[in-house]
């Protein structure tokens, strides 16, 4: 797994989520100082636990604590599921485009499609610098995701290089809903490539994981 931690949470009075939604985790220090961050759900709605993947960021206040300090059995303060826009109901054909930890909500969509017995409804195009920096890399590869590594060739032969128009070309004229998730820079790149392909902006939804202001 990429540099980070998988959290499998037992949530009391859990409300079933839709793929694409997230939880907010709030940490409270002994002096009362609090810090809250959002984390997308990776699990399918049918999973009895809520799975999150938290990428360990250098100097990251909350991600560092979650990745290095939290132990099995610890209690965390969480709120969710949150989000009504970046969600996939599993009915309409969809395409997920994710960069780095931006693949997490797409993994929930993938697992949902598989649980419904309709993996054909979802196509995935994902990107990272290398396999080591792509969460769920093996699961995504096994599901047939188109994977773009910018620093090393992907298994199966795609040459190393950033996400490009060729990676997204199969989406031309597609009637699918499109979900783009990743850093602000990744989302901007994907937006430009989709515009060049003539993909309708009305059917495209973005989730940006950025630095907290
Ligand atoms: C809707 C939503 C869903 C999200 N889902 C996930 C998820 O599934 N997994 C996940 O790991 N993160 C996810 N994030 C990002 C997450 O909320 C935090 O921003 C991230 O964990 C950093 O928090 P921190 O306290 O560790 O870092 P901070 O202490 O806030 O920042 C530490 C340093 O890292 C930089 N930084 C902050 N955030 C990022 C970032 N996302 N990428 C690169 N550099 C950054 C800051 O500029 C700073 O230099 C999501 C964000 C949103 C808005």
Cα 156 to ligand 1 centroid, rounded to whole Å: 31
Comparison of pLDDT for 128 and 198, the residue scoring more = 128
36 Cβ below 6 A of ligand 1: no
Specify the residue with its C-alpha closest to ligand 1, atom 33: 60
Percentage helix, strand, coil for the chain under 3-state DSSP, each rounded to 5: 30, 30, 45
* pLDDT above 90 coverage of the chain, percent: 83
54 Cβ below 6 A of ligand 1: yes
53 Cβ below 6 A of ligand 1: yes
Q: Please determine, for residue 212, whether its predicted confidence score (pLDDT) is greater than 70.
A: no
- Spatial neighbors of 166 by CB under 8 A, at least 6 apart, are none
Average pLDDT over residues 142-166: 87
Rounded to the nearest 5 degrees, what angle is found at the Cα of 100, between the Cα atoms of 96 and 106? 30
39 Cβ below 6 A of ligand 1: yes
Burial 96-127 (b: 16+ CB within 10 A, else e): bbbbbbbbbbbbbbbbbbeeeeeeebbbbbbb
- Looking up tokens 């910018």 gives 150
211 Cβ below 6 A of ligand 1: yes
Residue 142, phi then psi, degrees to nearest 5: -65, -30
| Cα–Cα distance for residue pair 26/62, rounded to 1 Å | 9
Specify the residue with its C-alpha closest to ligand 1, atom 30: 212
Q: Please determine, for residue 213, whether its predicted confidence score (pLDDT) is greater than 50.
A: no
Residue 172, phi then psi, degrees to nearest 5: -55, 135
**Which of 63, 87, 96, 135 to probe ligand 1 with, by most ligand atoms within 8 A of CB?**
63
**Which of 18, 38, 69 to probe ligand 1 with, by most ligand atoms within 8 A of CB?**
38
Rounded to the nearest 5 degrees, what angle is found at the Cα of 164, between the Cα atoms of 162 and 169? 150
Specify the residue with its C-alpha closest to ligand 1, atom 24: 60
Residue 100 near residue 55 (C-beta atoms within 8 A): yes
Name the pLDDT band for 186 (thresholds 50, 70, 90): very high
Structure tokens at 142: 């096994």
* pLDDT above 70 coverage of the chain, percent: 97
Q: Please determine, for residue 22, whether its predicted confidence score (pLDDT) is greater than 90.
A: yes
């Amino acid at each position: 797994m990429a540099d980070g931690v998988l959290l499998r949470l037992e949530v009391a009075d859990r409300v079933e989520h839709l793929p694409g939604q997230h939880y907010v985790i709030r940490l409270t220090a002994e002096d009362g100082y609090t810090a809250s961050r959002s984390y997308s759900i990776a699990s399918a709605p049918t999973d009895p636990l809520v799975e999150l993947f938290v990428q360990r960021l250098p100097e990251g206040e909350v991600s560092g604590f979650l990745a290095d300090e939290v132990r099995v059995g610890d209690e965390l303060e969480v709120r969710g599921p949150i989000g009504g826009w970046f969600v996939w109901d599993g009915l309409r054909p969809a395409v997920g485009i994710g960069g780095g930890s931006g693949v997490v909500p797409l993994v929930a969509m993938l697992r949902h499609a598989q649980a419904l017995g309709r993996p054909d409804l979802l196509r995935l195009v994902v990107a990272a610098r290398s396999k080591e920096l792509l969460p769920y890399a093996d699961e995504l590869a096994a599901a047939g995701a188109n994977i773009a590594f910018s620093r090393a060739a992907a298994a199966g032969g795609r040459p190393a290089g950033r996400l490009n128009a060729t990676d997204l070309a199969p989406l031309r004229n597609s009637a699918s809903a499109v979900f783009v998730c990743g850093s602000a820079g990744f989302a901007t790149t994907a937006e430009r490539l989709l515009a060049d392909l003539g993909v309708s902006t009305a059917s495209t939804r973005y989730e940006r994981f950025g630095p907290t202001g």
